[in-house]
Amino acid sequence: MRNPIALLRRRWSDSDDVRTDGGTVDSGQSFWNRDSVRSAPFWLPPFLLVGLFVYGAILWNIVLSLTDFQGLGSPDYSNLDFENYLAALADPIDGLLSVLPFVNGGAVEARSPSWAQLSVEPIWNSAWNTVVLMVGFTVVCLALGLALAILVDHKIRYENTFRTIYLLPMSLSFVVTAKFWLYMYNVETGLINVVITSLGFGAVEIVQNPDLKLPAVAFALVWQFSGYAMIVYLAGLRAIPTSHFEAARIDGASTLRMYRRVVLPQLRTATVSALVVLTVFALKAFDFLFSMYSGYQPGPSADILATRMVREAYANQNWAYGSTIAVVLFVMALFIVTPYIYSQYQRGEL
Amino acid sequence: MSKDNKGKRFSRRTVLMGAGAAGAAGLAGCIGGDDSNDGGNNSDGDGTGNQSGDGSGGSSGDMQPIQLLHAWSSGDGNAAIGALIEGFQEAHPDVEFGEEPVNGAARGNLDQVISNRLQSNDPPSTFQTWPGKTLQKFGDAYESIEEDVWTDDLTNNYLEGPKTQAQLDGTFVTVPLNIHRINNLFYNVSVVEEAGVDPTSLSSPADVVSACQQISDNTDAVPFAQQTSGTWSTTQLWETVLLAQAGIDGYESFINGEGDKAQVQSALENVVELSEFYPGDSSSIDFTEANTMVMEGDAAFIHQGDWAAGAYRGKDGFNYGEQWNQVTYPGTSGSYLLNMDSFPYFANNPSPEATKTFLSYCGTAEAQVLFNAEKGSIPPRGDADVSQLDTFQQDQYDDFNNADNQPPSIQHGLAVVPAIKTNIDAAFSGFLENYDAATTAQELVDSFK
């Protein structure tokens, strides 16, 4: 995400540079001759489109979340308040207590905002599940991707074949992988349980087991996307000059130390780009849950903000409340991505 | 060199202008496209809609083509809507049709498309929807058709249950097309015979549990084929058991928001007992696979709407009364638990006359027989000539005409408004995780708050 203003400024200053083809500097260039203006047909349409349809839509969604918009008709923008947020995040302390593991407490009461005929539940449960899924999936996926990349980078035979095999699951749609893992998790015939029972343990119910639902979803997503993390890391590894390894070796660094001090720091950019994409995929897990549980009711232990949001918006037509959940989701995504983007920016690597 | 440079500059500018023009055109295209493309989710529909729109101007005066949106894009549903439209076009060759199946074939998808179109004040002529309380979802968008469609012919010949469900707050706004029954217990004849169970002798949900035990003891078959990956099969099983145990009064109290928690919990407890007899992998299979178990003789019973029989029809050597049979779910005799599809009339209709002509046609016995012969359900009119339907449908139709009451289904959207149904679904999604009858009963009773 480049800052368009900075881009603009750079273009402005560029126009004073001596051209490489030997042209002379024309300090009296008119406004219309500036590169930034003359190149406007190239950058302006996408700039406007993205501005309107991405950032404009985000802003509109935030405004919508402040209204009481519900049912048919059009929203009333004259009376904006934070009522939906109060209902969604009601009882913050009890809410947190009710979702944290190993703490049994904090009963959360449903609230009745002024627009609602029925009371609405706060979003603590689905928010917590979203965080668990997002963090768990992303961390495991990155770690596994890195491990695979390091292995594949060792100039093994059939490297291309392995790379393709690991990457292939990513080309499948969520609907396919969800149905596929539904079979894999089958208690009687699924591969996972066949392995478990052949090791002498009893068969385990996975799909409707409240303790295993979310990990099972995360596992399936890791299967699908660790190949992608591997490719990104592999590109990062290949970009590290051999001289760095040689220098580290000469200085007597052990393999572990070399990876920690030389390799990992240089994979920062790769990590950020993989992280951003994986976070987005974790948020998109809606499709996966929708296919796996034939609808947007995956059950309380796997309910994420995305399923909750669609339920509120499309099943209940609580548009404003759905927007509120969308904003919470958006803020959560920002919380994860922003620190990395910012650190990159500070290092001038962005 | 300067000449050269000039030439370059000129060509670059030309390119820029060209690109600018293209960009502007693209932008205009996007904005324009956004306007004209209100059913944006409905990729398939666009083509059909445009085609019919183009054709309409020349041929048929002020009759606009009907925009019918439905999700019957495959299987028996598709054959049924095809037969209905064919019959309509033979009867009314002057009315044009712009039928638009919504891809994805899920009702939820269709609702989203309708919702988007209503938001932009561009309703279709009609669409496939559950009647009853589901009508409240787009309540204000419907218009009364009491005068034009619900003539004496319809009001005299529809049975009371479907007639009630066709009304929104006491006004007729939709035309029910078919009825699926929910309170059926289908079974594989040879499996129950092997176990020594006589399904016709069962008289309560508790008897079903004992019969399942007997099947489990005496055969290798799964006693009760059920899927638990989605909530819907469990919700409709519970509502059937509730109807059986609490009776029509208890059932109606529940759907009116005055449910007795003890009754609700007792029905859930019966479901918990039944769940002992589900297939071991019930959470990984869907309804089709569960139904196939009955067809293959791997399972004895299945509780389902009568669409289950549609699959049996298609299997050779698996005949009604011989290899498979059906009893009214034990304890619910006298009730015909309704699930219906209907076509409502939208206000601000794009084709008022044509839509009303079509809805009137859907209200005829002839149209309903054409549709239901393919769909496997029964006509909601009491005077239909069902000789064209199969034996099972004829038996169901007799049951329907002789039923004491026709309560609306909760799972299939007739009995409660969508927001309450969302709460009920959520309660059952939790029930499938832990089978905790007491907690779920409380959540179900609280669904109305």
Which pLDDT tens digits describe chain A residue by residue (350 residues)? 445 555 555 555 555 555 555 555 555 568 888 888 888 888 999 999 999 999 999 999 999 999 988 887 778 888 888 888 988 888 777 777 777 766 666 667 777 788 877 888 888 889 999 999 988 999 999 999 999 998 888 878 888 888 888 889 988 888 899 999 999 999 888 899 999 999 988 888 888 988 899 999 999 999 999 999 999 999 998 888 888 888 888 888 888 888 888 888 888 888 888 888 888 788 778 889 998 988 888 988 999 999 999 999 888 888 999 999 999 998 988 887 788 778 778 877 66
Nearest to A226 by CA among A285, A131, A138, A130: A138
In this structure, are B328 and B348 located in the same domain? Answer: no
Does a structural domain hold residue A112?
Answer: no
Euclidean distance between CA atoms B244 and B67, whole angstroms: 41
- B17 touching chain A per CB within 8 A: yes
In this structure, are B12 and B107 located in the same domain? Answer: yes
In this structure, are B357 and B284 located in the same domain? Answer: no
A81 vs B103 pLDDT, higher one: A81
Does a structural domain hold residue A254?
Answer: yes
Q: What total of structural domains would you count in chain A?
A: 1
In this structure, are B367 and B331 located in the same domain? Answer: no
Q: Chain B residue closest to A38 (CA)?
A: B16
The answer to whether B429 contacts A48, with C-beta atoms less than 8 Å apart, is no
Does a structural domain hold residue A202?
Answer: yes
In this structure, are B65 and B121 located in the same domain? Answer: yes
Query: A284 and A138 in contact (C-beta within 8 Å)?
Result: no
- A45 touching chain B per CB within 8 A: yes
DSSP string for A4-69: HHHHHHHHHHHTTSPPTT-PPP-TT--GGGSHHHHTHHHHHHHHHHHIIIIIIHHHHHHHHHTS--
pLDDT at B349 over 60: yes
Query: B431 and B251 in contact (C-beta within 8 Å)?
Result: no
Query: A342 and A276 in contact (C-beta within 8 Å)?
Result: no
Please give the structure tokens belonging to residue B272.
Answer: 């918990």
Interface of A with B in 231-290 (CB under 8 A): none
Q: Which domain holds residue B299?
A: 184-335+417-446
pLDDT at B46 over 80: no
The answer to whether B229 contacts A44, with C-beta atoms less than 8 Å apart, is no
pLDDT at B65 over 90: no
Please give the structure tokens belonging to residue A248.
Answer: 């580290």
- What pLDDT, on the 0 to 100 scale, is given for residue A103? 62
Does a structural domain hold residue B397?
Answer: no
Residues of chain A with C-beta less than 8 angstroms from the C-beta of B140: 71-73
Does a structural domain hold residue A226?
Answer: yes
In this structure, are B171 and B215 located in the same domain? Answer: no
Interface of B with A in 322-381 (CB under 8 A): none
B228 vs A21 pLDDT, higher one: B228
Q: Which domain holds residue A134?
A: 124-317+326-346
Does a structural domain hold residue B406?
Answer: no
Does a structural domain hold residue B56?
Answer: yes
Please give the structure tokens belonging to residue B141.
Answer: 């968008």
Q: What total of structural domains would you count in chain B?
A: 2
CATH number of the CATH domain containing A337: 1.10.3720.10
B366 CB-side CA count, 13 A: 10
Euclidean distance between CA atoms A134 and A273, whole angstroms: 15
Q: Which of A259-273, B42-56, B368-382 has the lowest mean pLDDT?
A: B42-56
* Helix then strand then coil, % of chain A, to nearest 5: 65, 0, 35
Please give the structure tokens belonging to residue B352.
Answer: 């008022």
Give percent of chain B with pLDDT exceeding 90.
Answer: 46
In this structure, are B428 and B368 located in the same domain? Answer: no
DSSP state of B407: P
Give percent of chain B with pLDDT exceeding 70.
Answer: 84
Look at the alpha carbons of B272, B274, B279, B285 in this order and tell me if their dihedral is positive or negative: negative
In this structure, are B150 and B242 located in the same domain? Answer: no
Euclidean distance between CA atoms A84 and A327, whole angstroms: 11
In this structure, are B237 and B109 located in the same domain? Answer: no
The chain-wide mean pLDDT, for chain B, equals 83
Q: Mean pLDDT across the stretch B149-178?
A: 90
Q: Chain B residue closest to A184 (CA)?
A: B284
pLDDT at B447 over 80: yes
pLDDT at B212 over 90: yes
**Among B284, B419, B429, beta carbon nearest to A207:** B284
DSSP string for A156-182: -TTHHHHHHHHHGGGGS-HHHHHHHHH
B247-298 residue pLDDT tens: 999 999 999 999 899 999 999 999 999 999 999 999 999 888 999 999 999 9
Interface of A with B in 49-88 (CB under 8 A): 49, 71-74
Among candidate residues B374, B389, B404, the one where a domain is terminated: B389
Query: B411 and B239 in contact (C-beta within 8 Å)?
Result: yes
Instruction: Give A137→chain B minimum CA distance, Å.
Output: 22
- What pLDDT, on the 0 to 100 scale, is given for residue B431? 94
CATH number of the CATH domain containing B49: 3.40.190.10
In this structure, are B150 and B26 located in the same domain? Answer: yes
Q: Mean pLDDT across the stretch B70-74?
A: 81
pLDDT at B445 over 80: yes
Does a structural domain hold residue A113?
Answer: no
Does a structural domain hold residue B15?
Answer: yes
Q: Mean pLDDT across the stretch B344-348?
A: 90
User: What's the pTM?
Assistant: 0.81
- A294 touching chain B per CB within 8 A: yes
Please give the structure tokens belonging to residue A327.
Answer: 């904003």
Does a structural domain hold residue B128?
Answer: yes
The answer to whether B283 contacts A187, with C-beta atoms less than 8 Å apart, is yes
Nearest to A83 by CA among A50, A130, A115: A115
Q: Which of A292-306, B107-121, B204-218, B435-449 has the lowest mean pLDDT?
A: B107-121
In this structure, are B431 and B359 located in the same domain? Answer: no
pLDDT at B61 over 50: no
Best of B31, B227, B429 to substitute, by most chain A Cβ atoms within 10 angstroms, is B429
In this structure, are B308 and B162 located in the same domain? Answer: no
Contacts 24+ apart (CB under 8 A), A49-58: A49/B27, A49/B30, A58/A330
DSSP string for B412-441: TTSSS-HHHHHHHHHHHHHHHHH--HHHHH
The answer to whether B141 contacts A72, with C-beta atoms less than 8 Å apart, is yes
Instruction: Give B283→chain A minimum CA distance, Å.
Output: 6
**Among A110, A118, A303, beta carbon nearest to B420:** A118
Q: What's the CA angle centered on B184, arms B181 and B187, to 5 degrees?
A: 140
Does a structural domain hold residue B379?
Answer: yes
B4-37 residue pLDDT tens: 444 444 454 444 444 444 444 444 433 333 333 3
Euclidean distance between CA atoms A104 and A88, whole angstroms: 21
Please give the structure tokens belonging to residue A47.
Answer: 């700039």
Does a structural domain hold residue A233?
Answer: yes
